[in-house]
Structure 1
């Protein structure tokens, strides 16, 4: 059982693979996997050698470099570890070395690009030990946890380094984008040094003429005092989106946090208060009106929520009603405090609550996309039981995860990396 190279002619490699079959299908499949991995290692070794020079002198940045000979190096591949004898170059006066195979092969640390892609993609969804277990059990590929972490850190460093200069294109859409909803929100995660802190998520969602969401861009950031870096990144994505969809209406959707609106007002034509938050405050009014009758509270809430969503001027009418209740009636301390909070909330956001008009224009009226992103981008990966993070590690995961979760971006990133390469020190 195993594999061997039959011939190498130019860019073609011919392999012979021998597989031992068994009366157990599982055993046969395991033998197939092992033999194919052996063949993959042989083919990958040949592919790397194909990218090497013939040992002639080369010129880089006006300086001549000469080979120190073919030196062995271990590389990690999807199929196993391979040892390749490749030329290593150096200037006549010494100094740093240069390996053409690693430059041309887009080697990341010692990983081939496909294996680095697999490892970092898996780390975006699970811990390094989960990735290690998956590779060993499902790919027959034993790898150290430290290697998984270092490789993923290297990939994340490229993502962060190229964040400003690499522009990603949304998937090709069959419909015209009429509106773009922008949202941002925070959720807490546990850091080793400073305890629970707020990490940020931003979303840019594209909608067609009937209000169907077509695509969403995700941005995530580790806890940061002032959030300046996160807001700069979000602003860059907004500007790129506006260049791509200049005729769309840009809408800010968020809850009542003042900091959200300070940012969104400068980048959107319409600002909409999340309907769930607006309707949530009506519970205080229902309790004030019917303190001892739960059935009437529910009936009133259902009716008013429907009106708030479908009928113009309802928000103003509700505000006047709760203002009158607050000023003219005597209530318990708790009811009065909740009612006053509702009055203040509606007073501050009445101009963002014309939901009937927004629905007529097919605008989204909920920030559910952004709030869901808090869960999918951050909570599901960074807030599992017992997890606490150093900022650098959390930044790696968020860089990978936002790229993986934004459709087509992960593939585009690797196409760009394949085109431009991974920085190799000279």
Structure 2
């Protein structure tokens, strides 16, 4: 069918629909109600015209030969079978020729094969819209949104099925898909620093576990230790490129950021593997002269990983300054008491030293020892202070904040902290949510691409693996 024929079908359907809808309109005077009614009428007519034209377009390509030879096998025309598709214009029912071998076996539908819809209900553009929506909101919210502003209006159940189907296609080819996306990332020319960061964030799981941080159950309530939900640690990583420090600013400009996230797993094995794969690609693109920094908070698990991986031997390592600030504040409270003037003065003084002076962490440690020997501290405050002394002693070699600032390097792990919130917490930790690990990972993958500005690259890679399948 040529385009002129499609236009005729669309115009005829549009005209018929508008005339039918307009019979009951009072058009003598323009009112807000009339404008709304005409707007809805146009929407319905445009949807109907699009559906009719697209249906006619597709059916014009169907085969009606009595038999076909496919891969050396003779298939005969058995029947004409209708199938409903969800298109961007709405639902259409397409009648397709169905072929099958005389001895039975799987059916072959040429039309579905031609436009790559053998196993799909939703068209490619609808799949993309649905996946993008679910990356940002629940299936129920997505259905409500499409119901308000789209020609196609899938149910929440249909939306879930579409996302599950797309994810099922991606999983066997995920390595290829990710490699395609990575190759499309361009490192900004002004980049001077590559920063690798990672952090953990608790997510609610729909599986048995012991709730943490809860008091003992009261009499009369379910006293079972195991519940059907629990919180476990998901992992988030960010890879960021920074340029120079802009005028009148103190921190370098972040030029590009890529994030990845994984649902909880033992020892975060898959997360670390994927993080290192991403990092290797960006290191290659950045070139050998790029300054490389591993920058995280003070969690010992993260630093045990970084310190025992040879691939990070050429990285400069730094504890997030704002995390160090928190420990400095706790040390001030242990030494001088909460909200005391002495605590505030000591904190302000040594925060400046930590930030601006070489060996600032050593100065903090000396001061803690000095005041501990001269002040009468309760056992509780002694214990709290000892914990902070241990933290600064263990991480002193990762606290060269003055040196980093002098060289225009970042000292904060804000990007990964923000990614934990925007990618994981905002989407997976809403009231009442509980996740299976597979379902949660499905959302996290989509959300990472959407939040990192890589959605087009992701969808192009998805279409590429569909074509190569």
Q: Distance in 2 between matches of 1:11 and 1:53?
A: 21
Alpha-carbon shift at residue 225 of structure 1 (Å): 1.8
Q: Distance in 2 between matches of 1:95 and 1:63?
A: 11
CA contact (8 A) 1:272 1:365 kept: yes
Once the two structures are superposed, what CA deviation does each residue of 1:213-257 show, in whole Å capped at 9, x if it has no partner?
Answer: 112111111111221112111121111212221232221111122
Aligned to 1:284: 330
Aligned counterpart for 1:48 among listed residues 58, 82, 91: 58
Evaluate the alpha carbon distance shift between residue 263 and residue 369 of structure 1 in structure 2; reply closer, same or farther with a 3 A threshold.
Answer: same
Aligned counterpart for 2:397 among listed residues 348, 351, 372: 351
Higher strand share: 1
Q: Distance in 1 between matches of 2:77 and 2:122?
A: 23
Aligned counterpart for 1:311 among listed residues 353, 357, 360: 357
Query: Is it true that 1:183 corresponds to 2:183 in the alignment?
Result: no
Evaluate the alpha carbon distance shift between residue 143 and residue 368 of structure 1 in structure 2; reply closer, same or farther with a 3 A threshold.
Answer: same
Evaluate the alpha carbon distance shift between residue 93 and residue 399 of structure 1 in structure 2; reply closer, same or farther with a 3 A threshold.
Answer: farther
Secondary structure of the equivalent of 1:175? coil
Figure out how many residues of one structure are paired with residues of the other and give that number: 415
Aligned to 1:74: 84
Alpha-carbon shift at residue 197 of structure 1 (Å): 1.2
Higher helix share: 2
Query: Is it true that 1:366 corresponds to 2:412 in the alignment?
Result: yes
Aligned to 1:224: 265
Secondary structure of the equivalent of 1:403? helix
Query: Is it true that 1:206 corresponds to 2:233 in the alignment?
Result: no
Q: Distance in 2 between matches of 1:186 and 1:240?
A: 23
Q: Distance in 2 between matches of 1:64 and 1:271?
A: 66
Aligned counterpart for 1:275 among listed residues 315, 321, 331: 321
Evaluate the alpha carbon distance shift between residue 370 and residue 174 of structure 1 in structure 2; reply closer, same or farther with a 3 A threshold.
Answer: closer
Aligned to 2:368: 322
Once the two structures are superposed, what CA deviation does each residue of 1:46-83 show, in whole Å capped at 9, x if it has no partner?
Answer: 453466556473544x6565554543211111221111
Query: Is it true that 1:260 corresponds to 2:302 in the alignment?
Result: yes
Secondary structure of the equivalent of 1:198? strand
Q: Distance in 2 between matches of 1:404 and 1:158?
A: 19
Alpha-carbon shift at residue 397 of structure 1 (Å): 1.2
Q: Which moved more, 1:318-327 or 1:273-282?
A: 318-327
Once the two structures are superposed, what CA deviation does each residue of 1:128-154 show, in whole Å capped at 9, x if it has no partner?
Answer: 111111122222543232211110112
Q: Distance in 2 between matches of 1:275 and 1:11?
A: 66
- Structure 2 gaps of 5+ residues are 209-229, 246-251
Query: Is it true that 1:26 corresponds to 2:31 in the alignment?
Result: no
Query: Is it true that 1:160 corresponds to 2:205 in the alignment?
Result: no
Aligned to 1:9: 2
CA contact (8 A) 2:88 2:126 kept: yes
Secondary structure of the equivalent of 2:283? helix
Evaluate the alpha carbon distance shift between residue 149 and residue 307 of structure 1 in structure 2; reply closer, same or farther with a 3 A threshold.
Answer: same
Query: Is it true that 1:411 corresponds to 2:456 in the alignment?
Result: yes
RMSD between superposed Cα atoms in Å: 2.7
Aligned to 2:214: none
Evaluate the alpha carbon distance shift between residue 229 and residue 50 of structure 1 in structure 2; reply closer, same or farther with a 3 A threshold.
Answer: farther
Q: Distance in 2 between matches of 1:365 and 1:380?
A: 25
Evaluate the alpha carbon distance shift between residue 66 and residue 255 of structure 1 in structure 2; reply closer, same or farther with a 3 A threshold.
Answer: farther
Matches within 5 A, 1:91-102: 91=101, 93-102=103-112
- Structure 1 gaps of 5+ residues are 1-7
Moved over 6 A (4+): none
CA contact (8 A) 1:106 1:418 kept: no
Secondary structure of the equivalent of 1:304? helix
Evaluate the alpha carbon distance shift between residue 373 and residue 326 of structure 1 in structure 2; reply closer, same or farther with a 3 A threshold.
Answer: same
Higher RCO, Cα 8 Å, sep 6+: 1
TM-score after normalising by structure 2: 0.80
Aligned to 1:127: 138
CA contact (8 A) 2:64 2:77 kept: no
Evaluate the alpha carbon distance shift between residue 193 and residue 213 of structure 1 in structure 2; reply closer, same or farther with a 3 A threshold.
Answer: same
Alpha-carbon shift at residue 403 of structure 1 (Å): 1.8
Aligned counterpart for 2:49 among listed residues 39, 43, 46: 39
Evaluate the alpha carbon distance shift between residue 256 and residue 36 of structure 1 in structure 2; reply closer, same or farther with a 3 A threshold.
Answer: same
Once the two structures are superposed, what CA deviation does each residue of 1:327-365 show, in whole Å capped at 9, x if it has no partner?
Answer: 564311222122111110011111110011111222221
Q: Distance in 2 between matches of 1:304 and 1:94?
A: 82
Evaluate the alpha carbon distance shift between residue 231 and residue 288 of structure 1 in structure 2; reply closer, same or farther with a 3 A threshold.
Answer: closer
